[in-house]
Chain A
């Protein structure tokens, strides 16, 4: 079962219960901040007259997981993109590469790790909803199977086309995400990235990386060929200079 969240700005009252529940569930220190940090994995912020949640989108093809040199990030079969702090070396490529600017770092600690929403992977595995969805008093964030959520989102837009922008954010962005959003105001005004490609960014890199084995073989053979020719020329020149030129041009020296 592939699960996800559907967030609806037209329902959100900005109470922040989701963010508090997240802090409690994941035992994150400090108060809820007004932007994502290593200690605030989700927050509700006023934008363009409505309230909008910030959290990890849980991409179908996660860029963070593709760039991690030690595979500390991966997408579970249920949908959450999770993080293994014991593998992480702290290169911060995930922070640099994430198209949604989600992973954050513990800059204040001598032994730092990355912090980001993990879609309550343990709860989800047991079949329970995420802490944020459970805490929401108005069903602005709902938890469910991704395909059901897409269906639900389409229905909401179809039933009240005047109320919603005709777009499900996360359906196509970077190849689709497990977190979906519908809104009454254009997504750009919510501070969300609206010019993201539908192709996962990881594909850009893979086009180069997948060619490496062939390239190594061809390049090494070519270089050896160059060496063989120049060395052979030198040998031939030396033999010819010694006054006993090769009787048969094909002879090995």
Chain B
């Protein structure tokens, strides 16, 4: 791609409704950012000694990583299980994964007390810490995702040698990505193994790592479907129903296994009574489980609904929503009783989270504009991946 066509592409850009929303959101976002780094965490958040982790961990970190799970699932399907027909949706999925991880790292820049020391995890080791494992997974898997996506950028630059090198390394790269993702998704659940006396029995289980891993696969697939639909609308593309329908079947299996594991854990904790007491925790659990697990599984188990675009997208949306509620329940709802306090995120926390999501979506849109992400736009030479 040469400079003149780059300018041509940039000229095609017309500021629309969403660009305006983005611009308006960026003003308070920058204000809160300045306050955060000049006045400290207490000035802009509702975090406290009783609630040291809030929205930025519960939503930005746990959900950002979890919803990026579509990337490792799909790279494994295409490159390890060799089911090549899913290749057309691989690029947007890997891009979503990479941006998800970039979003997580950016959020950590706000959440960590001293983010400029984030590199300390490289030189000061504590292998007994789950957070140490999490830190290394974030670093390594972000690198892997960047490499997995890099051929798209190299193609655009017209650099053929690096494309060939990455191409040759692709299988070990995909295997490394799947291994790191397995560790990372589960380790976010392992984080909460240390608080058996604080986390509510509806969510605590020695199998939390496995719960986090399976639910991430289900919701990650849901995210692939949802993202296909949203980019279809935004970039006027057709929906690949022939690919999304089998993915929905995979989602049913993943969510089904996850649902059974959750029910078994709740049974073992003897916590069923707290669901049907319909207290705070019980209600939040029902929102998460009925909307986010049972409903999408039942809907997508029906072939006729699975083949309908509306029902498919609706079910994927429910799975993603249920996943988000689950992560917020584990990280916030389930800890409130033990803390003896309620946590509601501050306006500042919400603005930063929304702002980061908006930045992620804007970067995705820019990537679609400049790189060949979607199949129709794939050019013949060098479009190996």
Report A's interface with B, CB cutoff 8 A: 36-38, 63, 66-72, 87-93, 95-97, 99, 101, 104-113, 193, 195-197, 201-202, 204-206, 208-209, 212, 215-216, 219-220, 223-224, 226-227, 230-231, 233-234
Q: Which of A96, A204, A209 contacts B196 (CB 8 A)?
A: A204
Interface string of B167-186 (1 = CB under 8 A from A): 00001001110110011000
Chain B residues closer than 8 Å to A97, beta-carbon distance: 194-195
Q: Cβ of B112 and Cβ of A230 under 8 Å apart?
A: no
Q: Which of B42, B114, B124, B128 contacts A206 (CB 8 A)?
A: B128
Can you offer 11 A-B residue contacts whose CB atoms are under 8 A? A70-B132, A71-B125, A90-B114, A96-B195, A97-B195, A107-B41, A112-B114, A193-B197, A197-B197, A204-B196, A233-B82
Q: Cβ of A69 and Cβ of B135 under 8 Å apart?
A: yes
Q: Cβ of A230 and Cβ of B121 under 8 Å apart?
A: no
Q: Cβ of A209 and Cβ of B121 under 8 Å apart?
A: no
Q: Cβ of B117 and Cβ of A89 under 8 Å apart?
A: yes
Chain B residues closer than 8 Å to A87, beta-carbon distance: 117, 120, 124
Q: Cβ of A70 and Cβ of B124 under 8 Å apart?
A: yes
Nearest CB in chain A to that of B123: its residue: A70
Complex interface residues of chain B between 214 and 234 (CB less than 8 A to chain A): none
Chain A residues closer than 8 Å to B82, beta-carbon distance: 227, 230-231, 233-234
Complex interface residues of chain B between 235 and 274 (CB less than 8 A to chain A): none
**Given A71-B125, A197-B196, 16 other A-B residues pairs in contact with their CB atoms under 8 A:** A67-B129, A69-B131, A72-B124, A87-B124, A89-B121, A95-B49, A97-B195, A112-B40, A112-B114, A196-B197, A201-B194, A204-B196, A212-B183, A223-B76, A223-B175, A224-B171
Nearest CB in chain A to that of B36: its residue: A110
Chain B residues closer than 8 Å to A72, beta-carbon distance: 124
When A108-B40, A209-B190 are in contact, do A69 and B52 touch as well, CB less than 8 Å? Answer: no
Nearest CB in chain B to that of A99: its residue: B197
Q: Does B31 sit at the interface, judged by CB under 8 A?
A: no
Nearest CB in chain B to that of A231: its residue: B82
Nearest CB in chain A to that of B53: its residue: A96
Q: Cβ of A107 and Cβ of B39 under 8 Å apart?
A: no
For B80, B132, B197, the residue with the greatest tally of chain A CB atoms inside 10 Å of its CB is B80
Q: Which of B43, B124, B179 contacts A71 (CB 8 A)?
A: B124
Q: Cβ of B197 and Cβ of A63 under 8 Å apart?
A: no
Chain A residues closer than 8 Å to B112, beta-carbon distance: 89-91
The complex places the Cα of A195 from the Cα of B201 at a distance, in Å, of: 14
Size category of the binding interface on chain B? 35 or more
Q: Does B17 sit at the interface, judged by CB under 8 A?
A: no
Q: Cβ of B52 and Cβ of A96 under 8 Å apart?
A: yes
Q: Cβ of B129 and Cβ of A66 under 8 Å apart?
A: yes
The complex places the Cα of A182 from the Cα of B115 at a distance, in Å, of: 42
Q: Cβ of A105 and Cβ of B133 under 8 Å apart?
A: no
Distance of A153 from chain B, by nearest CB (Å): 24
Q: Does B113 sit at the interface, judged by CB under 8 A?
A: yes
Q: Which of B53, B130, B171 contacts A92 (CB 8 A)?
A: B53
Q: Cβ of B130 and Cβ of A205 under 8 Å apart?
A: yes
Q: Cβ of B175 and Cβ of A209 under 8 Å apart?
A: no
Chain B residues closer than 8 Å to A193, beta-carbon distance: 197
Q: Cβ of A67 and Cβ of B117 under 8 Å apart?
A: no
Chain B residues closer than 8 Å to A93, beta-carbon distance: 129, 131, 191
When A68-B131, A91-B131, A111-B114 are in contact, do A226 and B53 touch as well, CB less than 8 Å? Answer: no
Chain A residues closer than 8 Å to B107, beta-carbon distance: none
Q: Cβ of B129 and Cβ of A68 under 8 Å apart?
A: yes
When A67-B131, A223-B179 are in contact, do A88 and B126 touch as well, CB less than 8 Å? Answer: no
Q: Cβ of A69 and Cβ of B80 under 8 Å apart?
A: no
Q: Cβ of B80 and Cβ of A223 under 8 Å apart?
A: yes
Q: Cβ of A92 and Cβ of B196 under 8 Å apart?
A: no
For A36, A38, A69, the residue with the greatest tally of chain B CB atoms inside 10 Å of its CB is A69
Q: Does B206 sit at the interface, judged by CB under 8 A?
A: yes
Q: Cβ of B197 and Cβ of A69 under 8 Å apart?
A: no
Distance of A81 from chain B, by nearest CB (Å): 14
Q: Cβ of A110 and Cβ of B38 under 8 Å apart?
A: yes
Nearest CB in chain A to that of B82: its residue: A230
When A69-B121, A90-B114, A233-B82 are in contact, do A224 and B190 touch as well, CB less than 8 Å? Answer: no
The complex places the Cα of A69 from the Cα of B80 at a distance, in Å, of: 33
The complex places the Cα of A12 from the Cα of B115 at a distance, in Å, of: 43
Distance of A109 from chain B, by nearest CB (Å): 5
Q: Does B295 sit at the interface, judged by CB under 8 A?
A: no
